[in-house]
Chains A and B, each alone.
Chain A
Amino acid sequence: MTATGTSGSATTDRRSRSLLVSAAVLVIATVVLVVVFGIQRPPGLATLADEPAGGPTAAVAWMAWDRGEGCVRVAEPSGAVTTPWCSQSGGEVVRFDGEELVVRTWETGERMRTIDLDDGRSTGWLPAQRDPAPDPVTDAVWAERHDGTLIVHEVGSDRVLWRAEAHERYTIDSSARSPDRTWISMVDSAGRLLVVPADGSAPPRVWADDVPAWPAPVWEDATAG
């Protein structure tokens, strides 16, 4: 009787341990699978902050949501990214206006607020009808894929701007041409803001991270004024 009981207990222990090991193996195998096959990295690129030489001469701005607030982000030609203004009501960057930025907000109905780019101070209000909602920015590039290679063309000329080995889910979500038409900004599916010469003379550089694809970042008109 004792022997039977001992044997039964040993069987139970073995079964428990084997299921514990099975659970551990299952979890480890899943982690390995996810790390090896699931996590797909975007193509490696230099950053504009590390290599600013020969970069754009104008800034871009966009609105990003961060922890329940809409924050204006401005990427400077140097590669630095600043956050001059945030609001819980959020909004949309409309255009640069000299040293100020015009932002459409819905704080008290739809209104236009002007923001000082240096200190984020609100400098005034504009009637909404003076700046009707801008038309969606027309994409400046289109992309195709051949055997694991992403090929990015300029819209219109079909000039190849960039070729990169990339996994199948990697793509360019939105793009915009600078007002002087010498630069093209692109937001890729990894949420990176890339900038590339419109003549395709150099590969893209990473300007900023965590950038929403829509609406596309707005260029500063460096030729104005």
Chain B
Amino acid sequence: MSLLELRDVAGGYGPVQVLHDIDLSVDPGHVAVVLGANGAGKTTTLRAISGLIPIRGDIRFDGESIAGKGPEAVSRLGIAHVPQGRGTFSELSVEDNLRVGAVNRTDNGDIERDLKRWYEVFPRLGERRRQEAGSMSGGEQQMLALARAMMARPRLLLLDEPSLGLAPLVTRELFARLSDINRDEGLSILVVEQNANLALDIGHWGYVLETGRIAVQGPAHQLHDDEAVRQAYLGF
């Protein structure tokens, strides 16, 4: 059974409908990739899952319907959402940012252990732990956002265009970390991206959105290798 399942989801912003009949699922331990051009509805899909916009249709997490729940509730169920723009708490220190991730956990000892762990995975965060998060570079803030999301020990990670505004080298490192996390912890990930190449490399299954509908889907490596798909949709 899928960990996350969207059935016939439609939704948008006020009078503007963005998504139409979206059927999408994420299997446990898998990385699902959602690709598409600007305005195709990728971000909107994630917002629908997190309950940030009203939708028609059903969304099931671990078999239970979460459609209609607000973002606070969805988060508590174990879905961590790293939004576009990274959601950094600019005035707070790096360490405080990470602690916010763990804010609904009660296992204090483990929280400290997790902090140490993420400082090891992202040493630059450790170096800057007392620094104001807003003064860090885009890449550093993205690492922070990822670590912060992981501090919640989520069961599903939603990532919205993590490569946006990042240098290629940094992006590569980010995706390498993502792949590690997926492999080592079996964490399920749904990543929305414009940078199709890197995303499909770490993905298991891919969807291509076009004007709010799923145009193509299939195993990630197939999408990656298929000339026609690449030229038509992925631009590489």
Binding between chains A and B: no
B residues contacting A by CB (< 8 A) are none
